[in-house]
């Protein structure tokens, strides 16, 4: 008899508990696992991946304000091939749900990325249409419902994995946008990416940093 009262099912995938680390909070799990047994988690969402490796944003990336912490990392990552070669085996060796966060600068990037990941053991692809810290792509696809829907429809045609859409709190109408994503084939929604914000030194009239809790919603 299974006595795990925390076990939960999301879009047909079984999680031993509902605790999932959001993308960007634990890299790909290796470093965190040195100080914490990540198999105690229900799953992890990987650092955001792009087709090619990216160094991320230069300059200040983290800034503490009286009302919270702003971040501007900018999708630093090893690229999809780097993830497959260097990190995927480790993630799949652990007893947890593997969610791969995928971002892009164009619709073609998302399509190619999903296709490259098709033949690998992954539980979900989390389509990141909400990153505000890159100049092209990211949140550009997560503001207007019709743009998000078009992207999801085209990725769904090629993606063999279950598909989660990571929404932006800066969407024009997040309810309508989420519904369109569901209609175009999303298996779940991830709520939400970083809010837009800025840190200003009012005494010296200097801008420190501009930047933009996550919940998963099952659509089945």
- DSSP per position, 157-218: HH--SEEEEE--TT-S-HHHHHHHHHHTT-SEEEE--PPPEEEEETTTTEEEEEE---EEEE
Residue 18 Ramachandran class (φ > 0 left, ψ -120 to 50 alpha, else beta): alpha
Name the phi and psi angles at 34, rounded to 5.
-70, -25
Report d(CA 178, CA 162) in Å as an integer: 16
The structure tokens 């105690």 sit at 40
Tokens 């690998």 correspond to: 120
Q: What are phi and psi of 90, to 5 degrees?
A: -60, -50
Active-site annotation holds for 26: no
Question: Which of 162, 146, 154 is CA-nearest to residue 9?
Answer: 162
Residue from 26, 131, 159, 181 carrying the catalytic annotation: 131
Q: Which residues are catalytic?
A: 131
């Amino acid at each position: 008899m299974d006595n795990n009262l925390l076990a939960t099912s999301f879009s047909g995938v079984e999680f031993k508990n509902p605790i999932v680390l959001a993308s960007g909070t634990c890299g790909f799990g290796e470093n965190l696992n040195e100080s914490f047994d990540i198999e105690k988690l229900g799953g992890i969402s990987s650092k955001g991946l792009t087709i090619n490796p990216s160094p991320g944003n230069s300059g200040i990336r983290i800034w503490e304000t009286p009302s919270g912490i702003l971040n501007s990392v900018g999708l630093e990552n090893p690229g999809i091939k780097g993830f497959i070669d260097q990190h995927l085996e480790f993630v799949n060796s652990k007893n947890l749900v593997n969610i791969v966060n995928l971002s892009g600068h164009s619709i073609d990037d998302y399509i190619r990325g999903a296709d490259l990941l098709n033949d690998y053991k992954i539980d979900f692809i989390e389509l990141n249409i909400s990153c505000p810290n890159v100049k092209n792509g990211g949140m550009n696809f997560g503001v207007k419902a019709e743009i998000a829907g078009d992207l999801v429809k085209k990725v769904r045609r090629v993606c063999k994995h279950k598909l989660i859409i990571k929404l932006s709190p800066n969407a024009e109408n997040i309810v309508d946008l989420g519904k369109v994503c569901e209609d175009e084939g999303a298996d779940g929604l991830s709520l939400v990416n970083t809010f837009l914000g800025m840190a200003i030194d009012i005494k010296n009239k200097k801008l420190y940093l501009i930047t933009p809790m996550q919940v998963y919603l099952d659509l089945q």
